[in-house]
Amino acid sequence: MQTPWEQRFAYAMHGMSSSVIRELLKLTEQPDIISFAGGLPAPQVFPVQQFRQACDHVLATMGAQVLQYGPTEGYTPLRQMIATDAGRVGVKVALSNVSITSGSQQALDFLGKLFINRGDYIVVESPTYLGALQAWNAYGAQYISVPSDENGMIVDELEKALRVGPKFIYVLPNFQNPSGSTLTLERRQKLVELADRYGVPIVEDDPYGQLRYEGEHLPSILALDSQYRGSAEVYDGNVIYLSTFSKLLAPGIRLAWVIAPETVIRKMVLVKQAADLHTSSFNQIVAHEVAKDGFIDEHVKLIRATYKERRDVMLETMEELFPSEVRWVRAQGGMFLWTILPETMDATELFKKAVEKKVAFVPGSAFYHDGSGHNTLRINFSYSSPEMIREGITRLGWLLREQVAATR
């Protein structure tokens, strides 16, 4: 009397089926495709030698600790380094404000578990990061999207959303994934004030903050919130800040962090205890060994130079070849160029044709919780070499010319 497995799965799981986008992206795994679909760092900037030395050193000198179980909140020297670094950019962050996660995706999952009751509303930018939607769908979240432009979330439209009583506001202020937009200082300040007035927390997701290729660095929402409240030795404001070593060192070590008020950190640690006990001691200690003497400050210059060159080659090729009806956001940093087709065109249809021409991207509708954005696409520039970028964007440019001509 076997019950089929499908009948046993929890209600939330029935909403989690392999998405159309995931099926489409399988098409990009052919080896001869130039894929701008992923969000992968360039392997050329991985600090492989530093990892070799660090592994050897920590295994030789503290092998028993490196390979043993560790504390749920993370390796203390690594947490201390993160707290100190945050202090450099104007926030007083105590050790007790910092917790380590296995990548930022895990922090997104924990935020779902921590805050979302089925049916709760979350305010998101439109478009927003696909992985956040996937994480929170599993908890039955509903979304209120606030439109954005190349200066990020249009904060003037936020108040309406806040009146609904959402659990939190999710924002990627720097070189947003997917749109590449950066929230202006004025909008950041207004966001902090509005969130405070309505008593709604802000989740600031900042994987790319240090990957700026032009323009001035802007203070984090965490820093602005901290200043707004005045000084305190321990951060006790309204922002939960996420960042990661994935783009500064390497994603394969799955290492990220959360900065948040102590009450939130304590609860997240309980969630993490039940979810995976702790993040790999090995990876935390190795990453700390690599990073501890200011390595990242130096290394990020190489990453910036590498990605800036790739972005610039992509922008040049787009300007040269994309038809005038197609627009894109000149991202000041990060890893993506967001591209907008004429309203009459469909990016998923374009995707299928592009794959035939051996070039790929992500149709933008994946980044809208309601499936809108049919005429948008996300193009990654961090992973492919400049030569491949020129070749791939040339293929895409000719395809776009053909398609736009057909709709004239």
Residue list 323-382, contact with a second copy (CB under 8 A): none
For the CB of residue 55, give the shortest distance to a second copy in the complex, in Å: 4
Residue list 49-68, contact with a second copy (CB under 8 A): 51-52, 55-56, 59-60, 63-68
By C-beta, is 40 or 154 nearer to a second copy? 40
What's CA 101's distance to the chain center, in Å? 14
For the CB of residue 103, give the shortest distance to a second copy in the complex, in Å: 5
- Please tell me whether residue 194 binds a second copy under the rule CB under 8 A: no
Give me 308's structure tokens. Answer: 């800036």
Among 73, 109, 206, 225, binds a second copy (CB under 8 A): 109
- Kindly state the number of chain residues that form the binding site for a second copy, as judged by CB under 8 A: 83
Collapsing DSSP to helix, strand or coil, 148 comes out as strand
Contact 108, 172 (CB under 8 A): no
Contact 255, 207 (CB under 8 A): no
- Please tell me whether residue 114 binds a second copy under the rule CB under 8 A: yes
Q: Which amino acid is at 47?
A: P
By C-beta, is 31 or 69 nearer to a second copy? 69
Residues 6+ apart with CB under 8 A from 368: 126, 127, 128, 145
Contact 371, 127 (CB under 8 A): no
Distances (CA, A) of 56 to 43, 61, 68, 88, 184: 21, 9, 16, 30, 44
| Residue 49, Cβ density class (10 Å: 0-12 exposed, 13-18 middle, ≥19 buried) | exposed
Residue list 262-281, contact with a second copy (CB under 8 A): 263-264, 266-267, 270-271, 273-281
Residue list 12-41, contact with a second copy (CB under 8 A): 12-13, 16-18, 38, 40-41
- Please tell me whether residue 164 binds a second copy under the rule CB under 8 A: no
Closest CA to 364 of 353, 380, 348, 381: 348
| Residue 117, Cβ density class (10 Å: 0-12 exposed, 13-18 middle, ≥19 buried) | exposed
Among 10, 32, 215, 406, binds a second copy (CB under 8 A): 10
One symbol per residue from 223 to 262: x for binding a second copy (CB under 8 A), - otherwise; what is it?
A: ---------------x----------xxxxxx------x-
The one segment of 5-13, 147-155, 353-361, 400-408 that binds a second copy by CB under 8 A: 5-13
By C-beta, is 33 or 138 nearer to a second copy? 138
The one segment of 104-112, 291-299, 325-333, 372-380 that binds a second copy by CB under 8 A: 104-112
